[in-house]
Structure 1
Amino acid sequence: MNTFTKFRKLSIRSKFLVLFVLLFVWFGLIQLVQLFFFISYIKQYNEMTETIHLTNSIHGELREQLEEEIRDIVYGKVYFEDGRQYQILSQMEEHLNTVANKEMAQPFTNEIEEVRTILETTTEYVDLLGHQIKFNVPAEEKYTTQEYIGIASGLINDHVQTLLQNTLQESEIQKEVIKEKINRDIVISITVYILLVMITFFIIWIASKYMLKPIYSLQNHAKEIAKGNLNVLINPVTATNEIDDLYNGFHLMTNYLKHIISQVHRTSNEIIHTSRQIHQSTEENLTAGEQMTSTSQFITRDLQQQHIQLQQLQRENERLLEKQLSFQKQLDTLPEEHDLIHEHTSITITMISQLQKNMEEFKTQITTCFANMEVIGALGEEQLTTIEEIAENSDKQLAYLDQLQQQLRQFTI
């Protein structure tokens, strides 16, 4: 597994953190390089300043101290053993060696060697002066040695002055070189910073485009789904960050939404079919209820007519019974030879009485049947009202389901 693959599996926060760390390290390296160059320029400038200072000290202060110290020794103001002549010469030699070790003094090796030779000669004359003082030679010889030392000091002055002039010229050249380098480094730094900013923006643009590509796809898919097109093709991606997880989650949600809408669509079709059957059954029941109500009303009217006819028949039967009774009374007054007629009349009266009794029972049954028909009529009207309410609710439900179907048709699955 390479570094790029590991980087791809990081979260978005970790990726941006890594990019910012790399950017910080990049800026830090540039600052370190600039600091290195700046320190080198300061070092070169300090070397120039130190070289000029040391050369100037040999040319001025130390040379004057040496001449003054030799003069005091010759005039007897200071003992040779107590003098600082060797210390001054050693300090001049040390300064000269320091200058010789400087990088900018490399072109002046010959001048430095000449000054070193003169210092050695001066040291020999100082040794000679000490020998003369030790053996108490005449003063003229001491003065002569002093003059030689003065001549050597003058040569030191001339050569060191030449070295100083060359050093100053070289320092001016080095200053110009350093100035050019600083200007060059400034230009390079600005260029590098500009390139770094451009590269950083380019990397951020590429990274944001790569990471935000699923979001743009989600935006387009969401617009299509909002229009009702659920057939939009959403290809799952390999999850490498939170946005990819969101994209795959949107894909699962869309598939689940398709499944739900399909189930709702199928269920709504079944409900519509069932509702239509219920509506049809309700209409049939409503028709049957109306027919039953009409039939019950017809039966009620027939029962009323039968009741009226039965009452008329009962009245006729009563009149007939009265006539038979009257006729029987008349027969009772007839002779006994009319017994057969009398017997026939008794039978007739009995039959009329039985018929009257049967008519009473039939009247009672008709009354009971009439009452039952009234109850059935009331129940039929109540049932008819209930069926009408069911039919009205069924119509509303069918209208709502039709509206739901129209809304579902907006989705293309």
Structure 2
Amino acid sequence: MERQKFRAAILAAYGATESEIEELLVYNQNVFEHDNWQPSLKFPLEPELHIETWENYAVNAREIGVFETLKQVFVQFSFPIQEGISQTEAYRAATLKGVNLDGISEATDLVLEHPDKLDLKIYQSLAGAIPVILPGNREDFVSLVRSLTKRNEPQFIPDSMGACMVAGYNNWDRIRRYRQQWERENPANCSETAWTTEFKRLIPDKNRYQDRFIILSDGFYSNVSPSDIGLPESEWRRLSLTIRLEHECTHYLTRRLFNSMQNNLLDELIADYRGIVAATGGYRADWFLRFMGLESLDNYRESGRLQNYRGEPPLSDGAFRILQALVTDAALNLERFDAEYINKLSVGNERNLLAIALTYSTLEELASQENTSYLVTILEQLETES
């Protein structure tokens, strides 16, 4: 209750009305679960079960190509991007039941502009190894996102979106592999009826058939141009890839450690913090604010990423303006803290620890004048436990 009052007082100091305070207290509520956090955890974390299968995909991709390999894995790649395709009986049977696609007229394949430039990597992140799919251009990135997350429907993908974490993907190839192994181990009892019973037993064990992977574009991060960031195009494109990859892997880390990964400004602040540090060696609030469209607080740029995190239901206009001021001050405070305090920590993984400390915070606390003492207290506690 004291923490709630403290946050409400900060919001009031920013000029928020009572109704706006209520909105923002809900929006900025910290939902990271720390009950199972163990400071003794060793990084990187152990890989999830699907990684072994994806390592096989990577080997196959080197022999027959990435697109041809993934066409054998993703049933969605058998269908075009087309209005209404997801409602057809064929699409639903293939994606929900794993029905064989032979002879299905709707299965005319996903079309990419440059399928030969599609790449697949198994990236070693703090959260463990994770598959990363890298298309050769923006158009193919949009097609992959629509295929794998929008059920092949031509839904709008914001220009500022350059990465997509796909989680809980039902991989029918892994289910087929599971069935083949089960049949080898049960040769005398592998009828269709027996498999139906076994499949029902498999369904609750999602780790055995659900995958997590990243689709990553090679475009400029947050659709910010090289001239706006003050760098040559080739350099900004290289740094953009680093920021984007580490950003997504930070979401992966919070999901595995703290059971949360959501479209929220605190999540984005933490993920961009790690991405910018990975790219430049230090945190730059001016970069983060430009990514969000907040390079000029008095003239918010709606093409920035902030619009993507307005919440559901969306924050009112007044609450959204308060949020803009709040996240601006939080970023500036974080830059000062990173520059002045990070090297005073006595452990060897200072910035990893700071990223974890941020998951204990709220935007109100990070924007407040007490932010330094607040973060120091959390870090000291984490250091003591480590």
Which TM class, normalised by the smaller chain length? under 0.3
Higher strand share: 2
Higher helix share: 1
Q: Which has the larger radius of gyration?
A: 1
Q: TM-score under structure 2 normalisation? A: 0.14
